[in-house]
Amino acid sequence: ASIDMSYDQAFVAGVVLQGKADAWIGLRRKEDGSYKWSDGWPVFFTQWGPGEPTNFKDEGCVSMHASIWFHGTWNDTKCDQAKPFICKTSSEKPPPTPSPGDGKCLQHWAPYGHYCYYIHDSKEGLSWPDARHVCQSFRTELASIHSRAEQEFLRNLNHTKYHNIWIGLTRDGNFGWGWTDKTAVGFLNWAPGEPNSAFHPGEVAEENCVEMYHDGRWNDNNCLQKRNFICRHRQFYTTDDNKHPVFPTDGPGTNNEGVVVGAVIGAIIFFCLLVGLLFYVFRVRGYKLSSLSLPTKTTSKIDVP
């Protein structure tokens, strides 16, 4: 069985507890060290036990604990062990993987769809402003994330590491959150209870920047904390005279096209409403003025004797 969310987890954990024995679930480690469900679904949810997965050489399959102490948590273990197992049937199909772009990525960057990604990994890490500065030095930006599939891809890029990484989400100055690359915020993946800080505009020492945990969930944190980070750029097709990539600003995979179109439509609707309101006001006022009975000027004739 694949487990996509906490509701599935609770149900399967109850079944395993009734069986009083650890049971296989459909998760297995791939050759690159990441994990995937046997039914083809990406790993959107995990419930690893303490210290798991250990990723030992022969421990490539995952079971669910039935013990009281570790009930419901997951453990990677040897695939040749005999255990009960949980089966699942569903009419839902896994989300489609975006078609690969036909452009190029910077060297050592990982392609996904029409974009490329790079995780900066060091012992020290950088503050959020410094991390963004490094991304911009490559003419790229801190990564924005727009779907669960893209989120899972990035989590797998960081699958062998247990540190948190900065992403491009930050306070937008209007009590909300915005991506540094100006794309629309249409997908969120906050950890439980997050974001949990008050709004302090312009204060980098406050929790105005967002990091991604190693399990993929997001947390607002102090922007001066040192973290590794992930950069993102559109695939490119040409280079300039200095052999620098020329990144396209529009085309397939752009995430803010809908926002621009929506803004234009909204402006047109607002203009039409304004014209209609003015027409209505002037018509009503004109009707009232025409319906008033104004006093008429009269003259009286006086006979002089």
Number of H helices, E strands in the chain: 4, 14
Give pLDDT < 50 ranges for the chain: 250-265, 287-305
Q: What is the pLDDT of residue 262?
A: 43
* Residue 65 near residue 39 (C-beta atoms within 8 A): no
Q: What is the pLDDT of residue 264?
A: 42
- Please list, residue by residue across 220-257, b when 16 or more beta carbons sit within 10 angstroms of its beta carbon and e when fewer do: bbbbebbbbbbbbbbbbeeeeeeeebebbeeeebebbe
Q: Which residues, other chains included, contact 215 with Cβ-Cβ below 8 Å and sequence gap of 6+?
A: 46, 155
Q: What is the pLDDT of residue 280?
A: 59
E runs forming strands in the chain: 23-29, 35-37, 61-64, 74-77, 110-112, 115-120, 141-142, 165-171, 177-179, 209-212, 218-221, 228-234, 238-239, 245-246
Q: What is the pLDDT of residue 252?
A: 39
Q: What is the pLDDT of residue 199?
A: 60
Domains of the chain: 6-78 (3.10.100.10), 110-246 (3.10.100.10)
Q: What is the pLDDT of residue 65?
A: 95
Q: What is the pLDDT of residue 292?
A: 39
Q: What is the pLDDT of residue 281?
A: 54
Q: What is the pLDDT of residues 11-69, one digit of tens each?
A: 999 999 988 899 999 999 988 778 889 998 888 788 889 888 888 878 999 999 998 88
Phi then psi for residue 19, to 5 deg, are -75, -15
Distance CA 64, CA 17 (A): 10
Q: Which two tokens stand for residue 123?
A: 């012992």
Percent of the chain whose predicted confidence (pLDDT) is above 90: 42
Q: What is the pLDDT of residue 46?
A: 86
> Residue for token digits 């089966």?
87
Q: What is the pLDDT of residue 158?
A: 80
Distance CA 35, CA 38 (A): 10
Q: What is the pLDDT of residue 304?
A: 41
Q: What is the pLDDT of residue 237?
A: 82
Q: What is the pLDDT of residue 210?
A: 97
Q: With 0-12 CB in 10 A as exposed, 13-18 as middle and 19+ as buried, what is 54?
A: exposed
Q: What is the pLDDT of residue 285?
A: 56
Phi then psi for residue 256, to 5 deg, are -110, 15
